[in-house]
Amino acid sequence: MANSRPNSLLKRPKLLITAVVAACFGFSLGATEWAQADATAPALSINTNTAPQQALVALPDFTPIIDRYGPAVVNISSTTNKVIHQQTNPFPPNSPFYQFFQHFGAPGQRGGPRHQQHEKIQSLGSGFIISPDGYIVTAGHVVRGANHIVVTLTNHHAYPAKLIGLSVRYDTALLKIDAKDLPTVPIGNSDHLKVGQWLLAVGAPFGFYNTVTQGVVSAMNRPLPDDEYIPFIQSDVPINPGNSGGPLFNMKGQVIGINDQIYTNSGGYMGLSFSIPINTVMRVVQDFKDHKPIQFGYLGVEVQDVTPQMAQALHLQEPVGALVASVMPGSPAAKAGIQAGDVIVTYNGKPVYNVGQLPPLVGNTVPGSHANVGILHHGVAETKNVLVTALPKNMDEPSNSTQPSKPTKTLKIPRMDIHVQDLTPDIEKQLDVHHGVVVVGVSEGPAAEAGLMPGMIIQQINQQTVNNVSTLASIVASLPADQPVPMLVRQGKASIYVVITLSKK
């Protein structure tokens, strides 16, 4: 009886069709025939078993991770005092009306009086507890410049936090709160991550506390332009402002990264999230706890990408690796025999496909340790054993371009359409160069197409050293036409390889 209603509903369309067919052929069926037709029809069987079925695809269940380690994720709020200078003159100094409003200022002040206003800026972020006595890890930009930091646990207990250490290069900070017997998270090994593995993020996006999102690993060792020392984990885990500093879990419930950045045009999540590997983070955290300065590995080379045109000019099979544009005198690379023009393709057994992959590998090397650097020297594979030292503190000094003064000899190179001059002692001393020629004029032609400008110094062409204008002229005369040739040039204190295609003789 339970199936009678469904069966009658299913059979009704069939009976209606039979009646229509009978009407078309001019005959009808009696009641007995209808009953016989209905009785002889096969009964339809519907499975009403409501017992749970086994899933065809096993999806991850994140509830055990949240139940066990969710209480160790904290919310971080920080307050920063920002001084705002206000000027009564409504026009900028280059405005023709600027002078008419100067007299409104106080005596001795130009452009009107300046008032200082203090504005409090509050920001929200996330973090996680790594020890029961109150050590907390978060992203550096969450608390950078903060005057007051408050950490709130999932039980709504709030604690003032002390900043133990902060690294701008690694965007990592260590906080301390006065508490005991706190829940903690287990620390995993980010080197074991693989593309496609499931991930879980916990944080406070837009201030919505204890928000859980999930995704997969999209890429590993992803370099970003403004953070050259961090080999980011790229994922599609949805994170937004407020997630910064929160943990990124693997399926074992281990933290394998700090949620740090998103790629966005709108200010919100667009499918690309970047996290700092926990191995990088914990190396910095340990230095903070030991009150040691943060040191970065130093190789002493300037590198650039190998373009397809450059690979052709260097006679390489593939456009991969980091092309060494210059080697600092006395640096670890120089002592190991690495030269300008070499292409770094591996570092400690890890492949280097582009220039962005090398700085994180070198920076994360412990100063004082050895690294095997695989290079291509004139196309031949070699391995150099380098004793990596600490990054010097004065490496960020700005460089200035230099124009030649009192040149000793000038020469035109017709095949390049440039005028060059020998170096002067002043330029050699200021730029710390000991060979090359200065470009003093560039006409329309091969040199201009290669990007050469007056003030640049040509140090190599076709991987041959240029000592003076006569050497350059001799080398150029021997080179074939209409073929790409590598040329090492220097602008200010930075060196770069360019590709030039010489005209016919």
Q: Do residues 243 and 257 make contact, with C-beta atoms less than 8 angstroms apart?
A: no
* Strand pairing report for 418-422 and 457-461: unpaired
Task: Assess contact for 191 and 326: CB atoms under 8 A.
Answer: no
Confirm whether 377 is a catalytic residue: no
Amino acid occupying residue 321: G
Per the residue annotation, which of 77, 78, 126, 171 is the catalytic one? 171
- Tell me if 136 sits within 8 A of 176, measured CB to CB: yes
- 3-class state of residue 263 by DSSP: coil
CA distance 346 to 413: 38
How many whole angstroms separate alpha carbon 415 and alpha carbon 447?
Answer: 9
* Catalytic residue (one of 244, 275, 326, 495): 244
> Which is nearest to 496 in space by CA: 313, 302, 301?
302
C-beta of residue 485 within 8 angstroms of C-beta of residue 459 = no
Q: Could you give the CA distance from residue 430 to residue 403 in angstroms, rounded to a whole number? A: 11
For residue 391, CA distances in Å to 80, 335, 340, 385 come to 31, 16, 20, 18
Residues 6+ apart with CB under 8 A from 337: 384
In 313-379, beta strands by DSSP E: 322-327, 343-347, 350-351, 370-377
Q: What are phi and psi of 102, to 5 degrees?
A: -65, -35
Q: Which of 113, 189, 127, 191 is nearest to 159 (CA)?
A: 127
Return d(Cα 438, Cα 434) in angstroms, integer. 12
CA–CA dist 483, 461 (Å, integer): 13
Q: Which of 126, 111, 16 is nearest to 76 (CA)?
A: 126
User: On the CB side of 369, how many CA atoms lie within 13 Å of its CA?
Assistant: 14
- To the query of whether residue 369 is one of the catalytic residues in this protein, the response is no
148 is catalytic: no
> What count of other Cβ atoms lies within 10 Å of the Cβ of residue 33?
11
Q: Which of 157, 149, 207, 199 is nearest to 173 (CA)?
A: 149
Residues 427-459: b if buried by 16+ CB within 10 A, e if exposed: beeebebeebbbbbebeebbbeebebeebbbbb
Residue positions forming the annotated binding site for substrate: 141, 171, 242-244
CA dihedral of residues 137, 141, 147, 150 (deg, nearest 10): -40
Catalytic center residues: 141, 171, 244
